[in-house]
Chains A and B, each alone.
Chain A
Amino acid sequence: MSKLLIEGVSRAFAGVRGGLPVKALMPIDLAVAANDFITILGPSGCGKSTLLRIVAGLEAPSEGRVLLDDKAVARPGPDRGMVFQSYTLFPWLTVTENIAFGLRERGMAPKERDDIVASYVDLVGLRGFENHWPKQLSGGMQQRTAIARALANDPEILLLDEPFGALDNQTRGLMQELLLGIWERRKKTVLFVTHDIEEAIFMASRVIVMTARPGSIKSDVAIDLPHPRHYTLKTSPEFSALKARLTEDIRIEAMRTAQTRPAAA
Protein backbone atom coordinates (compact mmCIF):
# COMPACT_ATOMS: atom_id res chain seq x y z
CA MET A 1 0.00 0.00 0.00
CA SER A 2 1.21 3.48 -0.78
CA LYS A 3 1.80 5.93 2.03
CA LEU A 4 1.00 8.91 -0.14
CA LEU A 5 -1.09 8.87 -3.29
CA ILE A 6 -1.31 11.82 -5.65
CA GLU A 7 -4.20 11.27 -8.04
CA GLY A 8 -4.62 13.46 -11.10
CA VAL A 9 -3.60 16.58 -9.23
CA SER A 10 -3.44 19.69 -11.42
CA ARG A 11 -3.35 23.37 -10.73
CA ALA A 12 -4.36 26.32 -12.86
CA PHE A 13 -4.29 29.96 -11.88
CA ALA A 14 -6.99 32.40 -12.94
CA GLY A 15 -5.95 34.50 -15.92
CA VAL A 16 -4.82 38.05 -15.38
CA ARG A 17 -7.36 40.69 -16.53
CA GLY A 18 -9.76 38.26 -18.12
CA GLY A 19 -6.99 36.31 -19.87
CA LEU A 20 -6.91 32.55 -20.18
CA PRO A 21 -6.19 30.57 -17.01
CA VAL A 22 -2.50 29.77 -16.60
CA LYS A 23 -1.75 26.10 -16.16
CA ALA A 24 0.95 25.58 -13.55
CA LEU A 25 0.66 21.84 -13.16
CA MET A 26 -0.62 19.17 -15.57
CA PRO A 27 -2.47 16.28 -13.91
CA ILE A 28 0.09 14.41 -11.81
CA ASP A 29 -0.14 10.81 -10.61
CA LEU A 30 2.38 9.64 -8.07
CA ALA A 31 2.45 6.86 -5.51
CA VAL A 32 4.93 7.14 -2.67
CA ALA A 33 5.79 4.03 -0.66
CA ALA A 34 6.28 4.24 3.09
CA ASN A 35 9.78 5.28 4.17
CA ASP A 36 10.78 6.27 0.65
CA PHE A 37 12.95 9.32 0.16
CA ILE A 38 11.65 10.97 -2.97
CA THR A 39 13.22 14.02 -4.54
CA ILE A 40 11.28 16.07 -7.03
CA LEU A 41 13.69 17.65 -9.48
CA GLY A 42 12.69 20.33 -11.95
CA PRO A 43 13.65 23.66 -13.45
CA SER A 44 12.51 26.75 -11.61
CA GLY A 45 8.89 27.64 -12.17
CA CYS A 46 7.88 24.09 -13.15
CA GLY A 47 5.29 23.83 -10.38
CA LYS A 48 7.22 21.44 -8.13
CA SER A 49 6.76 23.70 -5.12
CA THR A 50 3.08 24.05 -5.98
CA LEU A 51 2.76 20.26 -5.96
CA LEU A 52 4.42 20.09 -2.54
CA ARG A 53 2.18 22.83 -1.19
CA ILE A 54 -0.86 20.93 -2.43
CA VAL A 55 0.34 17.83 -0.57
CA ALA A 56 0.85 20.02 2.52
CA GLY A 57 -2.70 21.33 2.13
CA LEU A 58 -1.52 24.92 1.86
CA GLU A 59 -2.99 25.13 -1.64
CA ALA A 60 -5.96 23.35 -3.14
CA PRO A 61 -5.58 21.43 -6.40
CA SER A 62 -7.74 22.53 -9.34
CA GLU A 63 -8.48 18.88 -10.01
CA GLY A 64 -7.54 15.58 -8.43
CA ARG A 65 -6.79 14.70 -4.84
CA VAL A 66 -4.06 13.74 -2.44
CA LEU A 67 -4.43 10.75 -0.13
CA LEU A 68 -2.25 10.21 2.91
CA ASP A 69 -2.82 6.78 4.47
CA ASP A 70 -6.00 6.60 2.37
CA LYS A 71 -7.37 9.79 3.86
CA ALA A 72 -7.96 12.76 1.55
CA VAL A 73 -5.96 15.89 2.33
CA ALA A 74 -8.15 18.97 2.74
CA ARG A 75 -6.08 21.36 4.84
CA PRO A 76 -2.64 21.59 6.40
CA GLY A 77 -2.07 19.40 9.43
CA PRO A 78 0.59 18.06 11.75
CA ASP A 79 0.68 14.71 9.94
CA ARG A 80 2.53 16.49 7.10
CA GLY A 81 5.52 18.32 8.49
CA MET A 82 7.06 20.94 6.24
CA VAL A 83 10.40 22.70 5.94
CA PHE A 84 10.38 25.82 3.79
CA GLN A 85 13.09 27.40 1.71
CA SER A 86 12.70 30.71 3.53
CA TYR A 87 13.66 30.86 7.18
CA THR A 88 10.38 30.29 8.96
CA LEU A 89 11.44 29.85 12.57
CA PHE A 90 9.31 31.95 14.88
CA PRO A 91 11.67 34.82 15.71
CA TRP A 92 10.19 35.39 19.18
CA LEU A 93 10.86 31.80 20.28
CA THR A 94 14.19 30.23 21.18
CA VAL A 95 15.53 27.12 19.47
CA THR A 96 13.89 24.79 22.00
CA GLU A 97 10.62 26.72 22.00
CA ASN A 98 10.54 26.56 18.20
CA ILE A 99 11.11 22.80 18.23
CA ALA A 100 8.43 22.44 20.91
CA PHE A 101 5.88 24.53 18.99
CA GLY A 102 3.94 21.67 17.41
CA LEU A 103 3.93 19.64 20.64
CA ARG A 104 2.59 22.65 22.53
CA GLU A 105 -0.16 23.17 19.97
CA ARG A 106 -1.10 19.56 20.57
CA GLY A 107 -1.32 20.23 24.30
CA MET A 108 1.43 17.85 25.36
CA ALA A 109 2.54 18.03 28.99
CA PRO A 110 5.72 20.11 29.52
CA LYS A 111 7.67 17.22 31.04
CA GLU A 112 7.13 14.89 28.11
CA ARG A 113 7.68 17.76 25.67
CA ASP A 114 11.05 18.69 27.14
CA ASP A 115 12.39 15.16 26.71
CA ILE A 116 11.34 15.00 23.06
CA VAL A 117 12.69 18.46 22.32
CA ALA A 118 16.02 17.65 23.96
CA SER A 119 16.41 14.53 21.83
CA TYR A 120 15.81 16.53 18.64
CA VAL A 121 18.21 19.26 19.73
CA ASP A 122 20.83 16.52 19.91
CA LEU A 123 19.73 14.94 16.64
CA VAL A 124 20.42 18.11 14.65
CA GLY A 125 23.53 18.99 16.69
CA LEU A 126 22.31 22.18 18.33
CA ARG A 127 23.27 21.40 21.91
CA GLY A 128 24.55 24.65 23.43
CA PHE A 129 22.24 26.78 21.29
CA GLU A 130 18.96 25.81 22.99
CA ASN A 131 18.24 29.30 24.26
CA HIS A 132 19.34 31.24 21.20
CA TRP A 133 16.87 33.22 19.17
CA PRO A 134 16.71 32.53 15.42
CA LYS A 135 18.41 35.85 14.63
CA GLN A 136 21.48 34.66 16.51
CA LEU A 137 21.81 31.53 14.34
CA SER A 138 23.44 30.98 10.96
CA GLY A 139 21.26 29.97 8.01
CA GLY A 140 22.32 26.33 8.32
CA MET A 141 21.51 26.25 12.03
CA GLN A 142 18.12 27.82 11.37
CA GLN A 143 17.27 25.14 8.82
CA ARG A 144 18.49 22.43 11.20
CA THR A 145 16.13 23.83 13.82
CA ALA A 146 13.33 23.92 11.22
CA ILE A 147 13.95 20.24 10.41
CA ALA A 148 13.94 19.37 14.10
CA ARG A 149 10.73 21.36 14.57
CA ALA A 150 9.02 19.43 11.78
CA LEU A 151 10.35 16.04 12.96
CA ALA A 152 9.53 16.59 16.65
CA ASN A 153 5.88 16.51 15.67
CA ASP A 154 6.47 12.96 14.37
CA PRO A 155 4.66 13.56 11.05
CA GLU A 156 3.61 10.73 8.74
CA ILE A 157 5.51 12.42 5.93
CA LEU A 158 8.15 15.13 5.83
CA LEU A 159 7.87 17.71 3.05
CA LEU A 160 10.88 19.84 2.20
CA ASP A 161 10.69 22.72 -0.26
CA GLU A 162 14.27 23.46 -1.37
CA PRO A 163 15.27 23.63 2.30
CA PHE A 164 18.95 24.20 1.56
CA GLY A 165 18.41 26.53 -1.39
CA ALA A 166 19.52 29.65 0.45
CA LEU A 167 22.65 28.08 1.95
CA ASP A 168 26.20 28.24 0.63
CA ASN A 169 27.58 25.16 -1.10
CA GLN A 170 29.64 23.77 1.78
CA THR A 171 26.87 24.15 4.33
CA ARG A 172 24.43 22.64 1.87
CA GLY A 173 26.62 19.54 1.52
CA LEU A 174 26.81 19.11 5.30
CA MET A 175 23.05 19.59 5.65
CA GLN A 176 22.41 16.92 3.03
CA GLU A 177 24.53 14.45 4.98
CA LEU A 178 22.81 15.40 8.24
CA LEU A 179 19.30 14.95 6.83
CA LEU A 180 20.21 11.73 5.06
CA GLY A 181 21.83 10.42 8.25
CA ILE A 182 18.63 11.12 10.18
CA TRP A 183 16.55 9.39 7.51
CA GLU A 184 18.86 6.34 7.48
CA ARG A 185 18.49 5.96 11.25
CA ARG A 186 14.82 6.83 11.71
CA LYS A 187 12.93 5.81 8.61
CA LYS A 188 10.47 8.41 7.46
CA THR A 189 8.58 9.09 4.25
CA VAL A 190 10.13 12.17 2.66
CA LEU A 191 9.19 14.36 -0.28
CA PHE A 192 12.05 16.71 -1.10
CA VAL A 193 11.80 19.39 -3.78
CA THR A 194 15.00 20.72 -5.34
CA HIS A 195 16.45 22.08 -8.56
CA ASP A 196 19.92 20.81 -7.70
CA ILE A 197 20.66 17.60 -9.63
CA GLU A 198 23.45 16.36 -7.35
CA GLU A 199 21.30 16.96 -4.28
CA ALA A 200 18.38 15.13 -5.88
CA ILE A 201 20.46 12.02 -6.59
CA PHE A 202 22.45 12.00 -3.35
CA MET A 203 19.42 12.17 -1.09
CA ALA A 204 16.90 10.07 -2.93
CA SER A 205 15.79 6.52 -3.24
CA ARG A 206 13.76 7.77 -6.20
CA VAL A 207 14.04 10.94 -8.29
CA ILE A 208 10.98 12.38 -10.03
CA VAL A 209 12.02 14.70 -12.86
CA MET A 210 9.47 17.30 -13.85
CA THR A 211 9.03 19.06 -17.17
CA ALA A 212 8.98 22.82 -17.65
CA ARG A 213 5.74 24.67 -16.88
CA PRO A 214 3.07 23.45 -16.97
CA GLY A 215 4.80 20.77 -14.92
CA SER A 216 4.27 17.08 -15.46
CA ILE A 217 6.36 14.03 -14.61
CA LYS A 218 9.06 13.54 -17.23
CA SER A 219 10.89 10.60 -15.72
CA ASP A 220 10.91 8.51 -12.59
CA VAL A 221 14.38 7.22 -11.73
CA ALA A 222 15.12 4.72 -8.97
CA ILE A 223 18.43 5.44 -7.21
CA ASP A 224 19.86 2.15 -6.05
CA LEU A 225 23.03 3.51 -4.53
CA PRO A 226 23.81 1.77 -1.24
CA HIS A 227 23.21 3.24 2.21
CA PRO A 228 24.67 4.68 4.35
CA ARG A 229 25.83 7.18 1.78
CA HIS A 230 29.03 9.10 2.24
CA TYR A 231 29.75 12.40 0.49
CA THR A 232 32.51 10.71 -1.54
CA LEU A 233 29.69 8.92 -3.33
CA LYS A 234 29.19 12.09 -5.35
CA THR A 235 32.42 11.42 -7.24
CA SER A 236 31.76 7.71 -7.93
CA PRO A 237 31.16 6.46 -11.52
CA GLU A 238 27.60 5.27 -10.75
CA PHE A 239 26.72 8.67 -9.38
CA SER A 240 28.26 10.41 -12.39
CA ALA A 241 26.26 8.24 -14.78
CA LEU A 242 23.02 9.12 -13.04
CA LYS A 243 24.01 12.75 -12.95
CA ALA A 244 24.77 12.73 -16.69
CA ARG A 245 21.39 11.24 -17.44
CA LEU A 246 19.39 13.62 -15.26
CA THR A 247 21.44 16.59 -16.42
CA GLU A 248 20.35 15.80 -19.97
CA ASP A 249 16.68 15.50 -18.92
CA ILE A 250 16.72 18.72 -16.94
CA ARG A 251 18.70 20.66 -19.52
CA ILE A 252 16.03 20.15 -22.17
CA GLU A 253 13.39 21.36 -19.74
CA ALA A 254 15.46 24.31 -18.58
CA MET A 255 15.90 25.34 -22.21
CA ARG A 256 12.18 25.12 -22.76
CA THR A 257 11.66 27.34 -19.74
CA ALA A 258 14.19 29.87 -20.97
CA GLN A 259 12.92 29.37 -24.54
CA THR A 260 16.44 29.29 -25.88
CA ARG A 261 18.43 26.85 -27.92
CA PRO A 262 22.17 26.22 -27.82
CA ALA A 263 23.81 28.38 -30.45
CA ALA A 264 25.44 25.41 -32.18
CA ALA A 265 22.25 23.39 -32.56
Chain B
Amino acid sequence: MRPLHPVSPGLRIALGISFFVLFIAFWAWITLGGHVNRIFLADPLSMLRDGWRLLVEDRFWLDILITIWRVFGGFVLASVVAVPIGIAMGAWKPVEAFLEPFVSFARYLPASAFIPLLILWAGIGELEKLLVIFVGSVFQIILIVAVKVGSTRRDLVEAAYTLGSTSNGIVKRVIMPANAPEIAETLRLVLGWAWTYVIVAELIGSSSGIGYMIINSQSRLATGQIIFGIIVIGLIGLLSDFAFKAFNRWLFPWSLA
Protein backbone atom coordinates (compact mmCIF):
# COMPACT_ATOMS: atom_id res chain seq x y z
CA MET B 1 0.00 0.00 0.00
CA ARG B 2 1.55 3.23 -1.18
CA PRO B 3 0.21 6.47 0.39
CA LEU B 4 -2.44 8.29 -1.69
CA HIS B 5 -2.27 5.62 -4.39
CA PRO B 6 -5.76 5.11 -5.88
CA VAL B 7 -7.59 1.81 -5.56
CA SER B 8 -9.25 0.13 -8.56
CA PRO B 9 -13.07 0.46 -8.76
CA GLY B 10 -13.70 -3.28 -8.44
CA LEU B 11 -11.52 -3.60 -5.36
CA ARG B 12 -13.13 -0.51 -3.86
CA ILE B 13 -16.60 -2.05 -4.07
CA ALA B 14 -15.36 -5.42 -2.81
CA LEU B 15 -13.66 -3.81 0.18
CA GLY B 16 -16.72 -1.71 0.97
CA ILE B 17 -19.02 -4.72 0.93
CA SER B 18 -16.63 -6.90 2.89
CA PHE B 19 -16.82 -4.59 5.91
CA PHE B 20 -20.60 -5.00 5.97
CA VAL B 21 -20.14 -8.76 5.78
CA LEU B 22 -17.63 -8.73 8.63
CA PHE B 23 -19.85 -6.48 10.70
CA ILE B 24 -22.92 -8.68 10.27
CA ALA B 25 -20.86 -11.83 10.83
CA PHE B 26 -19.57 -10.41 14.13
CA TRP B 27 -23.11 -9.45 15.12
CA ALA B 28 -24.38 -12.92 14.27
CA TRP B 29 -21.51 -14.54 16.18
CA ILE B 30 -22.09 -12.64 19.45
CA THR B 31 -25.88 -13.03 19.32
CA LEU B 32 -26.48 -16.48 17.80
CA GLY B 33 -23.45 -17.84 19.63
CA GLY B 34 -25.02 -16.79 22.90
CA HIS B 35 -22.27 -14.35 23.93
CA VAL B 36 -24.78 -11.61 24.81
CA ASN B 37 -28.19 -11.75 26.42
CA ARG B 38 -30.94 -11.94 23.75
CA ILE B 39 -33.04 -9.48 25.74
CA PHE B 40 -30.53 -6.70 25.08
CA LEU B 41 -29.51 -7.49 21.53
CA ALA B 42 -31.50 -9.38 18.92
CA ASP B 43 -29.69 -11.51 16.38
CA PRO B 44 -29.79 -10.61 12.64
CA LEU B 45 -32.35 -13.28 11.77
CA SER B 46 -34.92 -12.30 14.37
CA MET B 47 -34.29 -8.66 13.45
CA LEU B 48 -35.35 -9.49 9.88
CA ARG B 49 -38.33 -11.50 11.15
CA ASP B 50 -39.43 -8.65 13.42
CA GLY B 51 -38.95 -6.20 10.56
CA TRP B 52 -41.04 -8.26 8.20
CA ARG B 53 -43.83 -8.55 10.80
CA LEU B 54 -43.67 -4.79 11.39
CA LEU B 55 -44.08 -4.06 7.70
CA VAL B 56 -46.78 -6.64 7.00
CA GLU B 57 -48.83 -6.67 10.17
CA ASP B 58 -48.20 -3.34 11.88
CA ARG B 59 -48.25 -1.20 8.75
CA PHE B 60 -44.83 0.17 9.63
CA TRP B 61 -44.46 1.57 6.09
CA LEU B 62 -47.00 4.23 7.08
CA ASP B 63 -44.64 5.32 9.85
CA ILE B 64 -41.80 5.39 7.37
CA LEU B 65 -43.78 7.61 5.01
CA ILE B 66 -44.73 9.97 7.85
CA THR B 67 -41.12 10.29 8.94
CA ILE B 68 -39.96 10.94 5.38
CA TRP B 69 -42.60 13.62 4.97
CA ARG B 70 -41.52 15.31 8.22
CA VAL B 71 -37.85 15.31 7.25
CA PHE B 72 -38.51 16.76 3.84
CA GLY B 73 -41.16 19.20 5.08
CA GLY B 74 -38.91 20.60 7.80
CA PHE B 75 -35.89 20.56 5.54
CA VAL B 76 -37.63 22.38 2.68
CA LEU B 77 -39.03 24.93 5.11
CA ALA B 78 -35.56 25.56 6.57
CA SER B 79 -33.95 25.77 3.11
CA VAL B 80 -36.50 28.22 1.77
CA VAL B 81 -35.86 30.54 4.70
CA ALA B 82 -32.14 29.99 5.16
CA VAL B 83 -30.73 30.06 1.62
CA PRO B 84 -31.88 33.61 0.77
CA ILE B 85 -30.74 34.89 4.17
CA GLY B 86 -27.38 33.15 3.76
CA ILE B 87 -26.92 34.66 0.29
CA ALA B 88 -27.86 38.12 1.58
CA MET B 89 -25.40 37.79 4.46
CA GLY B 90 -22.59 36.60 2.20
CA ALA B 91 -23.20 39.27 -0.43
CA TRP B 92 -23.89 42.32 1.71
CA LYS B 93 -21.51 42.83 4.59
CA PRO B 94 -23.83 45.08 6.68
CA VAL B 95 -26.44 42.30 6.64
CA GLU B 96 -23.75 39.91 7.76
CA ALA B 97 -22.62 42.24 10.54
CA PHE B 98 -26.25 42.51 11.66
CA LEU B 99 -27.14 38.81 11.66
CA GLU B 100 -23.93 36.83 11.94
CA PRO B 101 -23.40 37.12 15.73
CA PHE B 102 -26.96 36.03 16.47
CA VAL B 103 -26.95 33.17 13.98
CA SER B 104 -23.59 31.93 15.30
CA PHE B 105 -25.09 31.90 18.77
CA ALA B 106 -28.37 30.30 17.69
CA ARG B 107 -26.50 27.57 15.85
CA TYR B 108 -25.33 26.15 19.16
CA LEU B 109 -28.82 26.01 20.64
CA PRO B 110 -29.57 22.28 20.63
CA ALA B 111 -32.67 21.54 18.59
CA SER B 112 -33.63 18.69 20.91
CA ALA B 113 -33.72 21.04 23.91
CA PHE B 114 -36.34 23.09 22.09
CA ILE B 115 -38.74 20.16 21.90
CA PRO B 116 -40.48 20.84 25.25
CA LEU B 117 -40.90 24.48 24.31
CA LEU B 118 -42.09 23.68 20.79
CA ILE B 119 -44.62 21.23 22.22
CA LEU B 120 -45.97 24.02 24.42
CA TRP B 121 -46.23 26.34 21.45
CA ALA B 122 -47.30 24.05 18.65
CA GLY B 123 -48.72 20.99 20.41
CA ILE B 124 -47.61 17.47 19.51
CA GLY B 125 -48.88 17.57 15.94
CA GLU B 126 -47.03 17.73 12.66
CA LEU B 127 -46.14 21.40 13.03
CA GLU B 128 -44.04 20.69 16.12
CA LYS B 129 -42.07 17.96 14.30
CA LEU B 130 -41.40 20.26 11.36
CA LEU B 131 -40.31 23.03 13.70
CA VAL B 132 -37.77 20.80 15.45
CA ILE B 133 -36.13 20.04 12.12
CA PHE B 134 -36.44 23.67 11.11
CA VAL B 135 -34.73 24.92 14.27
CA GLY B 136 -32.02 22.31 13.92
CA SER B 137 -31.25 23.07 10.28
CA VAL B 138 -31.99 26.71 9.57
CA PHE B 139 -29.07 28.35 11.37
CA GLN B 140 -26.60 25.81 10.07
CA ILE B 141 -27.69 26.40 6.48
CA ILE B 142 -27.60 30.18 6.88
CA LEU B 143 -24.04 30.16 8.19
CA ILE B 144 -22.59 27.72 5.69
CA VAL B 145 -24.27 29.45 2.74
CA ALA B 146 -23.08 32.86 4.01
CA VAL B 147 -19.48 31.61 4.24
CA LYS B 148 -19.60 30.03 0.76
CA VAL B 149 -21.12 33.14 -0.80
CA GLY B 150 -18.66 35.36 1.06
CA SER B 151 -15.77 33.50 -0.52
CA THR B 152 -17.04 33.94 -4.08
CA ARG B 153 -14.06 34.28 -6.43
CA ARG B 154 -13.28 37.99 -6.47
CA ASP B 155 -11.78 37.85 -9.95
CA LEU B 156 -15.12 36.65 -11.36
CA VAL B 157 -16.89 39.55 -9.65
CA GLU B 158 -14.31 42.00 -11.00
CA ALA B 159 -14.61 40.54 -14.49
CA ALA B 160 -18.38 41.03 -14.34
CA TYR B 161 -17.95 44.65 -13.23
CA THR B 162 -15.68 45.36 -16.20
CA LEU B 163 -18.37 43.84 -18.43
CA GLY B 164 -20.92 46.32 -17.13
CA SER B 165 -22.70 44.42 -14.34
CA THR B 166 -24.54 46.40 -11.71
CA SER B 167 -24.52 45.37 -8.03
CA ASN B 168 -27.82 43.59 -8.59
CA GLY B 169 -26.47 41.84 -11.65
CA ILE B 170 -23.42 40.70 -9.67
CA VAL B 171 -25.61 39.04 -7.04
CA LYS B 172 -28.04 37.47 -9.51
CA ARG B 173 -25.76 36.49 -12.33
CA VAL B 174 -22.40 35.91 -10.66
CA ILE B 175 -22.69 35.23 -6.93
CA MET B 176 -25.76 33.00 -7.14
CA PRO B 177 -24.79 30.77 -10.07
CA ALA B 178 -21.16 30.61 -8.89
CA ASN B 179 -22.23 29.23 -5.50
CA ALA B 180 -25.25 27.18 -6.53
CA PRO B 181 -23.41 23.82 -6.59
CA GLU B 182 -21.84 24.41 -3.19
CA ILE B 183 -25.17 25.51 -1.74
CA ALA B 184 -26.76 22.33 -3.10
CA GLU B 185 -23.98 20.29 -1.51
CA THR B 186 -24.58 22.09 1.78
CA LEU B 187 -28.26 21.21 1.62
CA ARG B 188 -27.37 17.59 0.97
CA LEU B 189 -25.22 17.58 4.09
CA VAL B 190 -27.87 19.23 6.24
CA LEU B 191 -30.53 16.82 5.00
CA GLY B 192 -28.45 14.10 6.66
CA TRP B 193 -28.59 15.97 9.96
CA ALA B 194 -32.34 16.47 9.58
CA TRP B 195 -32.72 12.70 9.85
CA THR B 196 -31.23 12.87 13.33
CA TYR B 197 -33.54 15.64 14.44
CA VAL B 198 -36.69 13.92 13.20
CA ILE B 199 -36.04 10.78 15.21
CA VAL B 200 -35.42 12.85 18.36
CA ALA B 201 -38.66 14.71 17.70
CA GLU B 202 -40.51 11.42 17.28
CA LEU B 203 -39.09 9.93 20.46
CA ILE B 204 -40.89 12.59 22.48
CA GLY B 205 -44.64 13.19 22.40
CA SER B 206 -45.35 11.36 19.19
CA SER B 207 -47.79 8.69 18.10
CA SER B 208 -46.39 7.87 14.69
CA GLY B 209 -43.17 7.66 12.76
CA ILE B 210 -40.01 5.56 12.90
CA GLY B 211 -38.87 7.20 16.13
CA TYR B 212 -42.21 6.44 17.76
CA MET B 213 -41.92 2.80 16.76
CA ILE B 214 -38.42 2.68 18.25
CA ILE B 215 -39.40 4.17 21.62
CA ASN B 216 -42.49 1.94 21.64
CA SER B 217 -40.37 -1.14 20.99
CA GLN B 218 -38.07 -0.22 23.87
CA SER B 219 -40.86 -0.61 26.41
CA ARG B 220 -41.52 -4.09 25.01
CA LEU B 221 -37.82 -5.00 24.86
CA ALA B 222 -38.25 -5.64 21.15
CA THR B 223 -34.60 -4.97 20.25
CA GLY B 224 -35.06 -6.60 16.86
CA GLN B 225 -37.60 -3.94 15.93
CA ILE B 226 -35.38 -1.14 17.23
CA ILE B 227 -32.45 -2.31 15.16
CA PHE B 228 -34.70 -2.75 12.14
CA GLY B 229 -35.94 0.82 12.58
CA ILE B 230 -32.39 2.15 12.83
CA ILE B 231 -31.35 0.27 9.71
CA VAL B 232 -34.38 1.59 7.82
CA ILE B 233 -33.35 5.14 8.71
CA GLY B 234 -29.83 4.42 7.53
CA LEU B 235 -31.05 2.98 4.23
CA ILE B 236 -33.44 5.85 3.52
CA GLY B 237 -30.69 8.33 4.40
CA LEU B 238 -28.32 6.58 2.02
CA LEU B 239 -30.91 6.52 -0.77
CA SER B 240 -31.87 10.17 -0.40
CA ASP B 241 -28.18 11.08 -0.34
CA PHE B 242 -27.59 9.18 -3.58
CA ALA B 243 -30.63 10.80 -5.16
CA PHE B 244 -29.54 14.26 -4.00
CA LYS B 245 -26.04 13.72 -5.35
CA ALA B 246 -27.36 12.54 -8.71
CA PHE B 247 -29.73 15.51 -8.83
CA ASN B 248 -26.88 17.95 -8.14
CA ARG B 249 -24.76 16.35 -10.83
CA TRP B 250 -27.61 16.67 -13.29
CA LEU B 251 -28.29 20.27 -12.26
CA PHE B 252 -24.67 21.50 -12.38
CA PRO B 253 -22.85 19.57 -15.08
CA TRP B 254 -20.45 22.49 -15.57
CA SER B 255 -18.92 22.09 -12.14
CA LEU B 256 -17.84 18.53 -12.86
CA ALA B 257 -17.24 18.56 -16.61
B178 with A105: CB separation less than 8 A: no
Among residues of A, the one whose C-beta sits closest to the C-beta of B153 is: A88
Interface positions of A from 80 to 105, Cβ below 8 Å from B = 80-82, 84, 86, 88, 90-93, 101-102, 104-105
A–B Cβ pairs within 8 angstroms, 18 of them: A57-B161, A57-B162, A76-B161, A78-B162, A82-B158, A88-B159, A90-B178, A91-B254, A91-B255, A92-B177, A102-B163, A102-B164, A105-B163, A105-B169, A133-B257, A135-B257, A150-B162, A153-B164
Given contact pairs A91-B255, A133-B253, enumerate 13 new A-B contacts (beta carbons under 8 Å).
A58-B162, A78-B162, A84-B158, A88-B158, A91-B178, A92-B177, A92-B178, A92-B255, A102-B164, A105-B163, A136-B257, A146-B159, A153-B163
Q: Is B29 engaged at the interface, CB distance under 8 Å to the other chain?
A: no
Interface positions of A from 49 to 93, Cβ below 8 Å from B = 56-58, 75-78, 80-82, 84, 86, 88, 90-93
**Chain A residues within 8 Å of B, Cβ to Cβ:** 56-58, 75-78, 80-82, 84, 86, 88, 90-93, 101-102, 104-106, 133-136, 146, 149-150, 153, 159
Chain B nearest Cβ from A64, distance in angstroms: 21
Among residues of A, the one whose C-beta sits closest to the C-beta of B178 is: A92
B163 with A149: CB separation less than 8 A: yes
Chain A nearest Cβ from B257, distance in angstroms: 5
Q: A88-B155, A90-B174, A91-B255 are in contact. Are A82 and B162 (CB under 8 A)?
A: yes
Q: A90-B174, A105-B169 are in contact. Are A78 and B163 (CB under 8 A)?
A: yes
Assembly CA distance A192 to B141 (angstroms): 43
B169 with A82: CB separation less than 8 A: no
Among residues of A, the one whose C-beta sits closest to the C-beta of B176 is: A92
A56 with B162: CB separation less than 8 A: yes
**Chain B residues within 8 Å of A, Cβ to Cβ:** 153, 155-156, 158-166, 169, 173-174, 177-178, 180, 252-255, 257
Which of B159, B180, B252 counts the most A-chain CB atoms under 10 A from its CB? B159
Which B residues are in CB contact (< 8 Å) with A133?
A: 253-254, 257
Q: A86-B155, A90-B177 are in contact. Are A135 and B162 (CB under 8 A)?
A: no
B161 with A135: CB separation less than 8 A: no
Which B residues are in CB contact (< 8 Å) with A77?
A: 161-162, 164
Q: A76-B158, A86-B155, A133-B257 are in contact. Are A92 and B163 (CB under 8 A)?
A: no
B164 with A106: CB separation less than 8 A: yes
Which A residues are in CB contact (< 8 Å) with B253?
A: 133
B156 with A105: CB separation less than 8 A: no
Chain B nearest Cβ from A190, distance in angstroms: 14
Assembly CA distance A86 to B254 (angstroms): 19
Choose one: B173, B177, B254; the contact of A105 (CB below 8 Å).
B173
Chain B nearest Cβ from A209, distance in angstroms: 26
Which A residues are in CB contact (< 8 Å) with B164?
A: 77-78, 102, 105-106, 153
Among residues of B, the one whose C-beta sits closest to the C-beta of A94 is: B254
Assembly CA distance A84 to B159 (angstroms): 8
A135 with B159: CB separation less than 8 A: no
A92 with B254: CB separation less than 8 A: yes
Choose one: A84, A101, A135, A150; the contact of B155 (CB below 8 Å).
A84
Which of A57, A105, A134, A136 counts the most B-chain CB atoms under 10 A from its CB? A105
Which B residues are in CB contact (< 8 Å) with A104?
A: 173
Chain A nearest Cβ from B253, distance in angstroms: 8
Which A residues are in CB contact (< 8 Å) with B160?
A: 90, 101, 105
B162 with A80: CB separation less than 8 A: yes
Assembly CA distance A174 to B96 (angstroms): 46
Assembly CA distance A104 to B162 (angstroms): 13
Assembly CA distance A58 to B162 (angstroms): 8
| Nearest 7 interchain pairs by C-beta | A78-B164, A102-B163, A76-B161, A82-B162, A88-B159, A133-B254, A92-B177
B162 with A92: CB separation less than 8 A: no
Chain A nearest Cβ from B11, distance in angstroms: 29
Assembly CA distance A81 to B177 (angstroms): 22
Which B residues are in CB contact (< 8 Å) with A135?
A: 254, 257
Assembly CA distance A101 to B252 (angstroms): 19
Chain A nearest Cβ from B254, distance in angstroms: 4
Chain B nearest Cβ from A32, distance in angstroms: 17
